[in-house]
């Protein structure tokens, strides 16, 4: 493989991930347990899990897995919480949609 082949190989993968991200964002925007106050702000209710490789995760009541970037206070796996934050455009988290956490609230706050 030449350097040009390497660039094509990785370039196509990056392009594919970008397209997947746009499609995923459109599908997730459909709702189902997620409240959106602006284009990027979300409030998600769910249960904290230990499924994350790099970041804590939240299994939303909508059945989706969210990575939580930022301080989630004293929340531990098994806790039910409501998270307010923004959909992160870039993150080191590797699972689901990443939420840049602004605030952790009691689960009732997401109703």
The model's pTM is 0.66
Q: What is the pLDDT of residues 79-110, one digit of tens each?
A: 999 999 999 988 899 888 999 999 999 999 98
Q: Check if CATH label 1.10.10 holds for domain 32-110.
A: no
Distance CA 73, CA 105 (A): 10
Q: Structural domain boundaries of the chain? A: 1-30, 32-110
Are 46 and 78 within 8 A, CB to CB? no
**pLDDT grade for 58, boundaries at 50, 70 and 90:** very high
> How many other β-carbons are positioned within 10 Å of the β-carbon of residue 36?
14
Q: How far is the C-alpha of 67 from the C-alpha of 83, rounded, in Å?
A: 11
């Amino acid at each position: 493989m030449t350097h040009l082949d390497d660039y094509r190989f990785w370039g196509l993968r990056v392009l594919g991930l970008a397209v997947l991200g746009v499609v995923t964002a459109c599908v997730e925007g459909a709702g189902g347990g997620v409240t959106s106050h602006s284009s990027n702000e979300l409030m998600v209710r769910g249960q904290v899990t230990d499924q994350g490789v790099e970041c804590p995760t939240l299994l939303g009541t909508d059945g989706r897995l969210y990575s939580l970037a930022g301080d989630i206070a004293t929340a531990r796996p098994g806790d039910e919480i409501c998270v307010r934050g923004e959909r992160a455009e870039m993150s080191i988290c590797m699972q689901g949609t990443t939420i840049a956490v602004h605030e952790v609230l009691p689960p009732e706050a997401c109703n």
